[in-house]
Amino acid sequence: MVSGILGKKLGMTQIFTTDGAVVPVTVLQAGPCVVVQRKTAAVDGYESAQIALVESRRMRHAGKPTLGHFKQAGVAPARFVREVPVEAGSEQTKPGDAVNVSMFSPKEKVNVVATSKGRGFAGLMKRHHFAGGAASHGSMFHRAPGSIGSSAWPSRVLKGVRAAGHMGVARVTVRNLEIVKIDAEENQIWVKGSIPGPNGGYLVIRKINK
């Protein structure tokens, strides 16, 4: 059995527990997915399964290589395709198999991989949480980076120095999120806490290796 499923972020809401506590949750559209390719250690050097998210809108204008890859598996082309590990003894997993939310259970902990929102060009204080200089009148050093290199040697700015630049649109993994509710009819998983990315963004929900 595969150890993950693909989905989308639908949005956040809140639920109330039996003792009246408010729990913030994120609603995720988890699947349905289909196995496109099965990779084995004998052929590919590792064990995994390539799965695709089945959406209501069919994929248009797919290239010939993509059409051929999906035709070999006997499934329709999809936009969002990722590889997920398979559990030990999952030799029966084959192309065309369905993957749905039945693989998860309430109270289970999962890892969610998503892409964070894009923030465009951001400065040091927003991007790297620099403290900045004194805010007093006349300091003339409020949001500047300070010294970023030596003048004599090496007479250049070293690689990896934190600076202003493109912020966001990064792969983020949120670990140990608790599943609060599973709606098998709507293919939804409700997890406790927040998930990176905008509503409608693609994501991967993975089981935690014990």
Domains of the chain, residue spans: 4-134+162-207
Q: Is 195 a residue whose pLDDT tops 70?
A: yes
pLDDT at residue number 25 = 94
DSSP H helices in the chain: 64-73, 124-127
Q: Are 91 and 54 in contact (CB under 8 A)?
A: no
Burial of 150 (0-12, 13-18, 19+ CB in 10 A): exposed
Q: Which has the higher per-residue pLDDT, 90 or 204?
A: 204
Task: Name every residue whose Cβ is closer than 8 Å to that of residue 184 and which is 6 or more positions away in sequence.
Answer: 100, 101, 102
pLDDT above 90 (res 66) = no
Mean pLDDT confidence for 112-123: 95
Residue 72: is its pLDDT beyond 90?
no
Q: Indicate the residue type of 117.
A: K
pLDDT score, position 99: 86
pLDDT of residue 89: 61
User: Where residue 91 falls among pLDDT bands split at 50, 70, 90?
Assistant: low
Q: Average pLDDT for residues 3-16, to the nearest whole number?
A: 92
Q: How many CB atoms lie under 10 A from the CB of residue 182?
A: 17
Q: Mean pLDDT over residues 86-95, rounded?
A: 73
Look at residues 83, 5, 75 and name the one whose alpha carbon lies nearest to residue 39: 83
Three-state secondary-structure class, residue 71: helix
Fold assignment, 4-134+162-207? Elongation Factor Tu (Ef-tu); domain 3 (2.40.30)
Residue 56: Cβ within 10 Å count: 4
Q: What mean pLDDT is predicted for residues 81-110?
A: 83
Express as a percent the part of the chain with pLDDT over 70.
98
| pLDDT score of 179 | 93
Of 2-6, 59-63, 183-187, 205-209, the least confident = 59-63
3-state secondary structure of 2: strand
Average pLDDT value for residue range 7-19: 91
pTM equals 0.82
CB-CB contact of 201 with 9 (8 Å): yes
pLDDT digits over 130-149, tens only? 998 999 999 989 998 888 88
